[in-house]
Structure 1
Amino acid sequence: MNTLGSRIAHYRKLKGLSQQALASECGWESQSRIGNYERDTREPSFEDLRRIAKALSVTLNDLLNPVMQIAESKDGRYATDQKLSARSRQVLDRITLAASQGRLVEQDLILLEQIARRLEKPEA
């Protein structure tokens, strides 16, 4: 499950849905949209990802990348009890806004994953 499309297909099959059934669950008439996402020939907007995640009963984290765990709560934002600096909150707010506007593409997510991995490494 190396790509977003392969993860969508994986969770769709786990739930026992056809591409058409998943498209219907998301409120779309045609299954071609799901097919394009699964073949990675089209990148879903953040809103489309939310619809797909909800229809598949998975989190955005599950779809985006099991390694890159974005901060997520029930409303799709980081938890308010997290100890974040004002600057970190500002950055997360900007990332959330860009994602909600569909301005993040797979390459952006890869870069964010790399940054997250660096932050997870213990300081020597």
Structure 2
Amino acid sequence: MEDKKKEFMKTLGNNIRMYREQKGLSQEELANRCGWTTNNARSTISKIESGVNDVPTSKVKVIAEQLGVSVCDLMNSSANVQTKDKIRKLIEQCYGKEVYETLSSLLDLDASDQKVIKTMIDSMLSAEKYSVKKESLNA
């Protein structure tokens, strides 16, 4: 049981580090955003990222919110996270960061809101304004 806990803490820590670095935050900045304001705030994040410190569930939620990811993203195995990171990089490389962020926002919506957005996009694409672009894509 203890090995599984250590493995989980290591996975959580690695994911926190990866998402923190993606956001361009220092350990101290993340710690302060999460409410740790003591002199050892950076050290707290460092220990979490290295899998040394256990993190209360309430703090996992706060960390996820500050990193702009779900709690599930923080807890996923590194293989899943690495795959997501590769997909993110590929989308950003092909279409730009804004497109990736838009897709991420869309995925954060529930199914009914996603349908509303899809209907809006379909409506815009069927408008005459976009017909030239649409035709050039079919060529």
TM-score (norm 2): 0.45
Q: Does residue 7 of the first structure (1) align with residue 15 of the second (2)?
A: yes
Percent identical pairs in the alignment equals 39
**Which residue, out of 56, 60, 65, partners 2:67?**
56
Which residue matches 1:26? Answer: 34
Alignment of 1:1-124 (within 5 A): 3-29=11-37, 30-65=41-76
- When the two chains are superposed, the root-mean-square deviation of aligned CA atoms in Å is 1.7
TM-score (norm 1): 0.51
- In the aligned structure 1, how far is the partner of 2:56 from the partner of 2:71? 12
- Please list every run of 5 or more consecutive structure 1 residues that lacks an aligned counterpart in the other structure: 68-124
CA deviation string 1:3-50 (max 9, x = no partner): 111000000000000000000110111111111100000110100101
Deviation at 1:59, TM superposition (A): 0.3
Q: Secondary structure at the match of 2:55?
A: coil
Aligned length: 67
- Pair member with larger Rg: 2
The one-letter amino acid of 2:66's match is A
Moved over 6 A (4+): none
- In the aligned structure 2, how far is the partner of 1:43 from the partner of 1:27? 16
Higher helix share: 2
- Please list every run of 5 or more consecutive structure 2 residues that lacks an aligned counterpart in the other structure: 1-9, 81-139
- In the aligned structure 1, how far is the partner of 2:16 from the partner of 2:55? 11
